[in-house]
Amino acid sequence: MKTLTFGRASVVPALIALGLAACGSDPSDAADTDTDPMTTDMDMDMDMDMDMNMNMGDPDATPADDVAGAALARGEYSLMDTRPAGYDGVTGTAVIARSPLGTSITTELAGLLPNVDYISHAHAQACDDGNAGPHYQFEVGGPEFPPNEIHLAFTSDNDGNGFMTAENAKIAGTAAVSFVVHPMEFIDNKIACVDFVEDEPGSIDAAIGAGLDKSTMGDMDHEH
């Protein structure tokens, strides 16, 4: 993971909003996004430790599969029609863990281009429903970056493999149904998507319910 420190921390949310807000938009916007110099600035990585709340991935974080007492859901990537050329061989998995500690998502991919920056997000619609729809948000209509959304950034290795875990202190609601990977520089070109399926039916509702019991945080169910 490359590291860059911005001169002012307050710049970061603005950059992320500019670079990532287009994710759920119409593919016809792609050209605008691709030529936006601010998007190119996303090549400069953030210091991921600058703010825990801005977590976009830590390769050394506990993988979702290993989070103690978590409700787990997972799936394998399916290719999306919006993928750029060169991504026909992408495979992999994503796993989401909901526990009293919050949410962790771990993804593992193969078949990517080597040494390329990617960004992934939890999405709010199934992969075949409107191309996975908008990003999942804890507070719908709120900020389009972490911690209100779950983003996961990583760089593929020399062999085109990727691996990363992102954490969030809140327990994702049931609307966090899918996970999409995009090239960092071509945010509208969704490459592949995972539909999360519970390991144990009902476990997610139980985890969310347990979290609500011990927390004042609302908006678990998309109601406001």
- Within 177-196, the residues that bind Cu ion by CB under 5 A are 180
Q: Which is nearer to Cu ion, 180 or 208 (CB)?
A: 180
Q: Which is nearer to Cu ion, 108 or 205 (CB)?
A: 108
CB–CB of 97/207 below 8 Å? no
Q: How many CB atoms lie within 10 A of CB 122?
A: 27
Q: Give min distance, CB of 215 to Cu ion, in A.
A: 26
* Residue 124 interacts with Cu ion (CB under 5 A): yes or no: no
Q: State which H helix or E strand residue 14 sits in.
A: helix 11-20
Stretch near Cu ion under the rule CB under 5 A, chosen from 75-83, 115-123, 147-155, 194-202: 115-123
Q: Which is nearer to Cu ion, 86 or 133 (CB)?
A: 133
CB–CB of 165/101 below 8 Å? no
* Residue 121 interacts with Cu ion (CB under 5 A): yes or no: yes
Q: Which is nearer to Cu ion, 36 or 199 (CB)?
A: 36
Ranked by CB distance to Cu ion, the top (closest) residue is: 121
Q: Which is nearer to Cu ion, 25 or 62 (CB)?
A: 25
For 160-195, b/e burial (b = at least 16 CB within 10 A) is: bebbbbbbbebbbbebbbbbbbbbbbbbbbbbbbbb
* Residue 151 interacts with Cu ion (CB under 5 A): yes or no: no
Number of residues that bind Cu ion (CB under 5 A): 3
Report the residue from 16, 23, 42, 153 that binds Cu ion according to the rule CB under 5 A: 23
**Beta pairing, strands 117-123 & 178-183:** antiparallel
Residue 140, Cα to own-chain centre: how many angstroms? 16
CB–CB of 42/15 below 8 Å? yes
Stretch near Cu ion under the rule CB under 5 A, chosen from 19-27, 105-113, 169-177, 193-201: 19-27
Q: Which is nearer to Cu ion, 54 or 207 (CB)?
A: 54
Residue spans of beta strands (DSSP E) within the chain: 71-76, 78-79, 91-99, 102-110, 117-123, 151-155, 162-168, 178-183, 192-195, 197-198
Q: How many CB atoms lie within 10 A of CB 210?
A: 16
Q: Give min distance, CB of 209 to Cu ion, in A.
A: 27
Q: Give min distance, CB of 171 to Cu ion, in A.
A: 20
Stretch near Cu ion under the rule CB under 5 A, chosen from 52-60, 80-88, 121-129, 191-199: 121-129
Residues engaged in binding Cu ion (CB under 5 A): 23, 121, 180
